[in-house]
Structure 1
Amino acid sequence: MVFDRQQLETFAVVVELGHFGRAASALNITRGAVSQRINALEASLGTPLLVREGAVPTPPGEALLRHIQVLRTLEAETFKQIKPEASERTRVAIAVNADSLATWFESVACDIAKDEFVLELIVDDQDHTLPILARGEAMGGVSTENTAPIGFVAEHIGAMEYECVASPSFAQAHFAHGLTLHSILAVPAVLFNRKDGLHGHFLERLLGFPVSGYSTHYFPSPGALLAAIQAGVGYGLVPCLQARPLTDSGALVALAPNHKVSVALYWHHWTTAPANARTVSEKVMYHARRCLVQTTSALPSE
């Protein structure tokens, strides 16, 4: 079948804005016209594409949204080939975890944004970026998962190393005899958010058994988490790319220098991609292989 492009764009805008009324305003049409286009598209495909409350795509809707994203990117590439002097930029969305963005991915993002792209970064925990890709919201993403969603391929790009650190005064006051079970249960850890399972993995590997019952602070940004540890409110895991200058200077103390945690990262991208999308992937791979640890012994995803 041949898709109606007007219906496709209407569907995409509804999903992107999460609301029929806002989509109508963005498209400069009535809300009724938006509903008519969505209904006609669903009728032509013979399946629901949207959960009306929240404008959330169904699984068939997710597949269609991925098609629309590829189509938009391919059209931008074709237009650039026809009119290379045109100033219009290609819009790309990438899902990335906050720790990567605060360290190695920042240079990737700047490199992409300087190269005739309009970039949107969708930030989530590194274990939870794949649903963003599956819903068709991004053309690529960084994840700990090595199994790619339908329509994507996963390439190993290296590992992010984490160091367990504390301020010198906090370490002296609470960990003078090391990270023992008693000391771990007595003081708070600083985690990114409730989805952050890395600290639990670290303690289990350190002690040889799962640990629960320890108190936690949540600071949901890498900068705030690091600042909290430096301020002495707790201890926690920090990317080595952030921690190394501070441990070298004595501003932080490595609590378990022989027990760094390496987390394998994968770049998920479209299986079949136009040239401009391949350029984005090449930039990601280039920076990752310069900054991340290239090892096969990293912590795998569960």
Structure 2
Amino acid sequence: MLDRDQLETFAVVIEQQSFEKAASALSITRGAVSQRIKALEESLSTVLVLRDRPVSPTPAGEVLLRYVKALRIMEGSALQELAPQPKLHAPVPLSIAVNADSLATWFPEVLKELLLSQLVALEVIADDQDHTSQLLSRGEVIGCISTSAKAADGFVAECLGAMEYRCYATPDFAVSAFPDGLTVPSVLATPAVLFNRKDSLHDDFLKSRFGFPIDRYAKHFLPSPVALLEGVAMGAGYGLIPSTQAQPVVDSGRLVDLCPNHRVMVDLYWHHWELEPPLAHDVTALIVKVAQRELVSRAVEEPVLVVAGSDDSARGPRHASPAVASNKTKADCNTH
């Protein structure tokens, strides 16, 4: 049997990324923290913690951290069921990682149901895919949204559907900057609005549009979906925006679609533990249900630019490389 105090101390050390901060959080001495971690490592005959700054788990530590997180979730769920009155026990802490464009469009429907249930104390981390994947593998989050179809060992990637992006500008900007439509000379002379320097979605769009790469054009970087939309809507440039996010502004006449017959589709996947506690399984089911209702079905046969692979920015999609199938990908977005 693993010692619960040792397990909890180990988890807090990883979460706080420091022995000193963990000691403060647990109201014990720094020496007591070290002794518990050492005893746990000896009982398992393996090193669990890299004593660097910041502290991080070893591969064995990542496995153990996932176990502790699952244990916390199962314990919290059991205490809620055993409580004499509904909602008497504290909500169960859960952490998930979500890309910014999802947070700005369809994911609030998930948040509404989770937060109003009062069953979980939710932490949402918006970050780039490389970092969120590390958070998932370490057990710091129970799942993350990614454009990669390939799941790591011990995880499952479920297809959620696709986000649709279109290229927008204000009517005045479109007339002045693109009098002859979206041409190579006009693109080179006109600023585009991008999410950040890692955002290659606009490059992918232009390459698909013209048949060759174009990257030497002026760029504004606004690392927020709301700020990016407002930047385009104020006439600072043109850019790719999720169509659901832009639709109210289009309906008001403030934005027009520069390429009505050219959309960009981005497949999204929910990566989660292969063996989930019941509460985490319920969260996965909710995310899949809402996504399949709100996202675009890829069954529609229409010429589109499909972006899949690894997303290097918090916005989400970024590379037009083929999605790599995995035996742990539960559904193919192309048949969703």
Contact 2:147 2:266 in 1 (8 A): yes
From 165, 168, 190, the counterpart of 1:165? 168
- Counterpart residue identity of residue 92, structure 2: T
Structure 1 residues without counterparts, runs of 5 or longer: none
Contact 2:168 2:257 in 1 (8 A): yes
The corresponding residue for 1:199 is: 202
Superposition RMSD on alpha carbons, in Å?
A: 1.8
Query: Using a 3 Å threshold, how does the CA distance of structure 1 residues 47 and 104 change in structure 2: closer, same or farther?
Result: same
**Distance in 2 of aligned mates of 1:224 and 1:62:** 36
Q: CA deviation at 1:126?
A: 5.3
- Counterpart residue identity of residue 231, structure 2: A
- 1:123 equivalent in alignment to 2:122: no
Moved more, 134-143 or 2-11: 2-11
What's the TM-score, normalizing by structure 1? 0.93
- Counterpart residue identity of residue 111, structure 1: E
Q: CA deviation at 1:300?
A: 2.3
Alpha-carbon deviations, 1:102-133, whole Å to 9, x = none?
A: 11001101211112111110112457532221
Matches within 5 A, 1:129-208: 129-208=132-211
From 302, 307, 311, the counterpart of 1:299? 307
Matches within 5 A, 1:284-295: 284-295=287-298
Contact 1:127 1:145 in 2 (8 A): no
- 1:61 equivalent in alignment to 2:64: no
The corresponding residue for 2:333 is: none
The corresponding residue for 2:111 is: 109
| Alignment size in residue pairs | 301
Query: Using a 3 Å threshold, how does the CA distance of structure 1 residues 127 and 6 change in structure 2: closer, same or farther?
Result: closer
Percent identity of the aligned residues? 51
Contact 1:159 1:295 in 2 (8 A): yes
Matches within 5 A, 1:177-256: 177-256=180-259
**Distance in 2 of aligned mates of 1:97 and 1:111:** 19
**Distance in 2 of aligned mates of 1:167 and 1:127:** 34
From 81, 91, 94, the counterpart of 1:92? 94
- Counterpart residue identity of residue 276, structure 1: L
**Distance in 2 of aligned mates of 1:172 and 1:48:** 64
- Counterpart residue identity of residue 14, structure 1: V
Structure 2 residues without counterparts, runs of 5 or longer: 310-320, 322-336
Q: CA deviation at 1:84?
A: 5.6
**Distance in 2 of aligned mates of 1:282 and 1:125:** 23
Query: Using a 3 Å threshold, how does the CA distance of structure 1 residues 48 and 210 change in structure 2: closer, same or farther?
Result: farther
**Distance in 1 of aligned mates of 2:25 and 2:65:** 18
Moved more, 45-54 or 251-260: 45-54
- Counterpart residue identity of residue 23, structure 2: A
Contact 1:125 1:195 in 2 (8 A): no
**Distance in 1 of aligned mates of 2:192 and 2:44:** 51
Query: Using a 3 Å threshold, how does the CA distance of structure 1 residues 24 and 168 change in structure 2: closer, same or farther?
Result: same
**Distance in 2 of aligned mates of 1:57 and 1:182:** 51
The corresponding residue for 2:83 is: 83
Moved more, 220-229 or 32-41: 32-41
The corresponding residue for 1:13 is: 12
- Counterpart residue identity of residue 300, structure 1: A
Alpha-carbon deviations, 1:66-125, whole Å to 9, x = none?
A: 111111111112222333633321111111000001110011012111121111101124
Q: CA deviation at 1:168?
A: 1.9
**Distance in 1 of aligned mates of 2:41 and 2:53:** 16
